[in-house]
Amino acid sequence: MTARTNFQLSRRTKLKQLSIAALLSISLHVHAATANIDIVAQSLDQAILSLGKQSGENIAFPSDLASTLKAPAVKGNYSVQQALELLLKGTGLTTQKTPAGYSVVKQVENNTETLPEVQIKDKAIKDITAEYPGGQVARGGKVGLLGNKDLMDTPFSATQYTSKLIEDQQAQNLGDVLVNDPSIRNTYSRGSGRDEFNIRGFTLFNYDAMFNGLYGISPRDSSSMIGIERVEVLRGPNALLNGIAPGGSVGGAINLVPKRAGYQPLNRMTLSYIDDSQLAAHADVARRFGADQQFGVRLNAIKSSGDTPVDHSKERLDAIAIGLDFQGERFRLEGDINYQNRLTYARSGLLFADTGVRIGSAPDAKSNFFPKWTYWDSNQISGTTRAEFDLTTNWMVYGAFGGSEYDFSSLQTSWLLTNQQGDIASRPARTQQYVKTLTGEMGVRGKFVTGALNHQPVLSVTNYFMESGFQSDRIGATFSNIYSPQDVAKPAISLIGNVPKAVETRLRSIALADTMSILDNAVQLTLGVRHQEVIVDSFDAAGNRRLDQHYDESKLTPTVAVVIRPTEKLSLYANYIEALNQGPIDPNSGQTFAPMVSKQREAGMKYDFGRFATTVSVFEIERASEITDPATLLLEVNGKQRNRGIEFLTQGEVVENVRILGGLALTEGKLVKTEGGTTDGNTAPAVPRQQFNLAAEWDTSMLPGLTLTARMLHTGEQYLDPENTQKIPSWNRYDLGARYAFTTGKVPVTVRGSIENLFDKNYWLSAARQGLSVGAPRTVLLSVTADF
């Protein structure tokens, strides 16, 4: 048997006779006779691995056979023998006690066939995609071109949120998942039809979220979670790992991992309700085919429609996600097709404030100063494919390709707050936009040894193309008040003709990195460099290329990162890494500037207690920007914002049947170099000094299957403007929930309910992009999920 590693993803070799199959043994010290077991439904090999880690017992098993079988969820206080019997039920396998621990064997005509054990001590065999105890996050995930890495071997701050968390928290969109992260805040509230994030004090647009490692595929407005298995978050700049983000995001990276069919048929239906009258039906169906179950198909579809808790606001969502995969002995292929149509009426957008206007208290969250005739209608369809081929046991080539088409139309108001009494003014606009993208990556990843030094090199080539068009028209001003919204008349605005092409963008890069390690991976050093090219062309209304707006520049961006593991449970890491943004074009001189460089320096510590883990990190990010020299009136790329912070993250099961997830982010954002020096030293807008999250779950003993949940969010005050004359106060939000899992007949059923913003507090949610957004009112969510 050849074990899968984090740098070489070969399938386990299928052997002709089970009697000569290799077995995997987990070498762990022996714990008590019984243990609190929490194993989710998954493939049998991963379930046994999880049992071994949780119980501390040695368990030998035929991994090639077990990888083709499915195991049910096992949760409760069991002995290893009892837990194994539950996992092996109906598989044709049984368990035997051995002097070394336990051995899983094949049942053959009333006798058992015992197989020889093979001890494997390589730490790289750990399943880095397995769920961490508690099931809310994973043990590791994809780290850009470096591939999959375990939490403790990742020289960056990263968290991977699981489908279990997505389901248990009834997350509808990406923002509902990332509300769990203390380093992240959403610019928009639930029901707005749009997500936009603030990570380590810098904006990340929803369209900068990657889908299965590719830019340009995720919906531009808000991503439905129906077809998503994992949401992977990497905090901080990441140009080496992922290349330049098309939207110029600096503070982090988000990767959406699509669902794949498991080894047991799945027929799951979820019916849900969200205040005020949103009803939804979500189907999740999966099958595997072929003699060796090598072909997989998974289909997710949702239809949702109804009123939100905000006055005269409605939302409709139709989405389909199809995931296909082939798992061969040396070749793996997967593909995804996604469609999403989202229509939102009277969506909550940003409120801008006139200069010098003092920001008053937030309006009633249920009231709505956006007129009922405003709407936001977006359609997106995308397709991707990814392939991997094992050249040898140590070398693999891979490639990915995808494309998407996005169409958008809206009739909306961008309100301007004109005084402290809440009066607002706007010029309504009708807008049409389209975006087409093509994106791809090719690479090779491998390993070799030079003396005592182990190498894991990777070479990656990426290419991204985007074409976008836009047209808009406005009418005269309309007026209202945020505390007493007026019934504003619907304007008559029409757009004629096709949407003209406005911009073409090409992002090309080549990257090379090598992770070198010694002392059985106790010391790991990653060195890498990416050459990034940015080509942008603009077009006039007649479709002619504007030569004065042509941009073609490139930049080398290096990275160095180190991991030191004094013990198996302790990991120390540090990194220097950059982010890139398209440079400006000076309108006076015509000079084009190379991509602007933002720099991060970070150090941290991770400790894995077994069922509970913590990460502590300190970082400094310096973001570059262009400013105009007041003496020469020429552009210079020497503007600087500096964010320094400390993050403390927690995950896992702190005591039996109690799980927590969250942490604390302390950030100081400073404007270091500004135009004319007028705001030098001021606090950067939309950077709260404190962000705190704590979510807890308790599996009650009074009623098996009942779990109670609670969550608290705190965000510090934020400045709206660089002059620091306008700010919004800090806010707290409290959520409560419960779920109950039971079986009726032979059908597993889970009922979930939660209340967000329990005390129905009115508050300003965010000051990002120098615009105000109102937090959502108290919202009730209910759902019933059944597996048929």
Angle at the Cα of 760 from the Cα atoms of 757 and 765, rounded to 5 degrees: 65
If one compares 664 and 130, the residue with the highest pLDDT of the two is 664
In contact, 47 and 2? CB cutoff 8 Å: no
In order of their start, the domains of the chain are: 18-125 (3.55.50.30), 140-258 (2.170.130.10), 266-787 (2.40.170.20)
Would you state the structure tokens that stand for residue 461, as one six-digit string? Answer: 């080539």
Would you state the structure tokens that stand for residue 332, as one six-digit string? Answer: 């793996």
For residues 593 and 638, give the distance between their C-alpha atoms in angstroms, rounded to a whole number: 11
Centre a 10 Å sphere on the Cβ of residue 562 and count the other Cβ atoms it contains: 16
What pLDDT, on a 0 to 100 scale, did the predictor assign at position 63?
64
What pLDDT, on a 0 to 100 scale, did the predictor assign at position 109?
45
Lowest mean pLDDT among 67-71, 177-181, 482-486, 774-778: 67-71
Would you state the structure tokens that stand for residue 76, as one six-digit string? Answer: 């409760």
Place of tokens 């009231």: 367
Q: What pairs with residue 552 in β-bridges?
A: 535
- The DSSP symbol for 364 reads P
Mean pLDDT value of segment 388-392: 97
Q: At what angle do helices 44-55 and 80-88 cross, to 10 degrees?
A: 170
Whether residue 28 has pLDDT greater than 60: no
| 212 Rama sector, left if φ>0, alpha if ψ -120 to 50, beta otherwise | left
- The DSSP symbol for 419 reads S
Mean pLDDT value of segment 758-777: 96
Instruction: Give the rounded percent of residues in the chain with a pLDDT score beyond 90.
Output: 76
Instruction: State phi, psi for 193 to the nearest 5 degrees.
Output: 75, 10
Q: What Rg, from alpha-carbon coordinates, does the chain have?
A: 27
pLDDT band of 30, cuts 50, 70, 90: very low
Would you state the structure tokens that stand for residue 434, as one six-digit string? Answer: 């389209």
Cis peptide leading into residue 276 (ω within 30°): yes
Whether residue 348 has pLDDT greater than 60: yes
Lowest mean pLDDT among 70-74, 210-214, 778-782: 70-74
Whether residue 661 has pLDDT greater than 80: yes
DSSP string, 258-323: EP---SS-EEEEEEEEETTTEEEEEEEEEEEESTTS-EEEEEEEEEEEEE-SSTT-EEEEEEEEEE
For residues 528 and 542, give the distance between their C-alpha atoms in angstroms, rounded to a whole number: 44
Angle at the Cα of 359 from the Cα atoms of 357 and 365, rounded to 5 degrees: 135
Q: What is the value of pTM for the model shown?
A: 0.85
What pLDDT, on a 0 to 100 scale, did the predictor assign at position 67?
66
Mean pLDDT value of segment 476-494: 93
Q: How far apart are the first and last CA of the chain?
A: 35
What pLDDT, on a 0 to 100 scale, did the predictor assign at position 124?
34
What pLDDT, on a 0 to 100 scale, did the predictor assign at position 1?
38
Whether residue 472 has pLDDT greater than 60: yes
In contact, 163 and 230? CB cutoff 8 Å: yes
pLDDT digit string, tens, across residues 576-628: 999 999 998 888 778 889 999 999 999 999 999 999 999 999 999 999 998 88
What pLDDT, on a 0 to 100 scale, did the predictor assign at position 585?
86
pLDDT digit string, tens, across residues 637-652: 889 999 999 999 999 9
User: What's the mean pLDDT when you consider all of the chain?
Assistant: 90
Whether residue 537 has pLDDT greater than 60: yes
| Residues 6+ positions from 292 with CB-CB distance below 8 Å | 14, 68
Mean pLDDT value of segment 238-247: 97
Whether residue 66 has pLDDT greater than 80: no
- The DSSP symbol for 357 reads P
pLDDT digit string, tens, across residues 197-225: 999 999 999 999 999 999 999 999 999 99
Amino acid at 778: R
Select from 652, 605, 615, 569 the least CA-distant residue to 137. Answer: 652
Residue ranges with strand state E in 630-657: 635-655
Residue ranges with strand state E in 700-778: 706-715, 718-719, 727-728, 731-744, 747-756, 764-766, 771-774
How do beta strands 351-353 and 416-417 pair? parallel
Whether residue 22 has pLDDT greater than 90: no
pLDDT digit string, tens, across residues 708-748: 999 999 999 999 999 999 999 999 999 999 999 999 988 99
Q: How long a stretch of residues is the chain?
A: 788
Amino acid at 349: G
Angle at the Cα of 313 from the Cα atoms of 312 and 315, rounded to 5 degrees: 140
Angle at the Cα of 214 from the Cα atoms of 212 and 217, rounded to 5 degrees: 90
Whether residue 787 has pLDDT greater than 90: yes
H helices within 703-788, ranges in order? none
Amino acid at 575: N
Would you state the structure tokens that stand for residue 469, as one six-digit string? Answer: 């068009």
Q: Which helix (H) or strand (E) covers residue 530, if one does?
A: strand 523-538
pLDDT digit string, tens, across residues 496-506: 789 999 999 99
In contact, 425 and 415? CB cutoff 8 Å: yes
